A and B are shown apart, each in its own frame.
Chain A
Amino acid sequence: DGGITQSPKYLFRKEGQNVTLSCEQNLNHDAMYWYRQDPGQGLRLIYYSQIVNDFQKGDIAEGYSVSREKKESFPLTVTSAQKNPTAFYLCASSTGNTIYFGEGSWLTVV
């Protein structure tokens, strides 16, 4: 099936640890995005990538890092520098003017 796959669905992190969220798409889309959603809030852009080997900071990039070595993959690392990482993380990809989302990953700091 074509789509965007995020893993893991649920992740628990201890304070001070880095964690990496996976995002894979088989839609042949050039652009990929990471958004963060807090309870009762809209989506805020963390990072985006228009093409392979290039990415740009979004509105809330501090404490996060990404890579885009392959067209299909855009992993997000939540570093220990991110002070409030507990949230719902959404990966997306786009072709033309429409953006499609994966099912999300829930990250909780324990």
Chain B
Amino acid sequence: QKEVEQDPGPLSVPEGAIVSLNCTYSNSAFQYFMWYRQYSRKGPELLMYTYSSGNKEDGRFTAQVDKSSKYISLFIRDSQPSDSATYLCAMRRGDTGRRALTFGSGTRLQVQP
């Protein structure tokens, strides 16, 4: 079983829809959670970074973390065709161990105009 599970999609929505992307994880040592957006043939870019359980909002994006359920989400409001990309969740340990990120497999999102 993978440490981080993410539905690969593809997820197709109409422009203006609310998008919900999710990841589950099994390692309770993960304490820091990120969402990256990756356009085709490009490097991932950091969208959101969260530490504690709860919600964090940045413009049209909201990241949600539920550590008790080992479940994280990214919501995109008023989705735009330019949001069409692959979204990767990532997380890392909170102790002094390995600081590298562990990634989900990514969800491909297509926003139809």
Write the residues of chain A forming the contact surface with B, with a CB cutoff of 8 angstroms. 4, 31, 33, 35, 40-45, 48, 50, 56, 58, 88, 90, 94, 97-104, 106
Among residues of B, the one whose C-beta sits closest to the C-beta of A102 is B43
Interface 1/0 per residue, B71-97 and A, CB below 8 Å: 000000000000000001010100000
Assuming the A-B contacts A31-B99, A98-B34, are A103 and B42 also in contact, with contact meaning beta carbons closer than 8 angstroms in the complex? yes
| Residues of B close to A104: CB separation below 8 A | 41-43
- Since A33-B101, A43-B90, A90-B44 are in contact, a sample of 16 more A-B pairs with Cβ atoms closer than 8 Å, ordered by chain A residue number, is A40-B105, A41-B105, A41-B106, A42-B4, A42-B6, A48-B100, A50-B99, A56-B98, A97-B49, A98-B34, A98-B46, A99-B34, A99-B101, A100-B46, A104-B42, A104-B43
Contacts of A40 in B (CB 8 A): 8, 105-106
| Closest chain A CB from B41 CB (angstroms) | 7
Q: Shortest beta-carbon distance, A82 to chain B, in Å?
A: 20
Q: Interface size of B by Cβ–Cβ distance < 8 Å?
A: 26
In the complex, B57 has a CB within 8 A of chain A = no
CB distance from B43 to the nearest CB of A (A): 4
Residue of A nearest to B51 (CB): A97
- Give 10 nearest A-B pairs by CB, closest first: A101-B43, A42-B103, A42-B105, A43-B103, A103-B43, A48-B100, A97-B32, A104-B43, A101-B44, A45-B100
Task: Identify the interface centre among B43, B90, B99, B103: most chain A CB within 10 Å of its CB.
Answer: B43
Sampled A-B contacts (22; CB under 8 Å): A31-B99, A35-B103, A40-B105, A41-B106, A42-B4, A42-B103, A42-B106, A43-B103, A45-B101, A45-B102, A48-B99, A56-B98, A88-B41, A97-B32, A97-B49, A99-B46, A99-B90, A101-B36, A102-B43, A104-B42, A104-B43, A106-B41
- A98 cross-chain contacts in B, Cβ below 8 A: 34, 46, 49
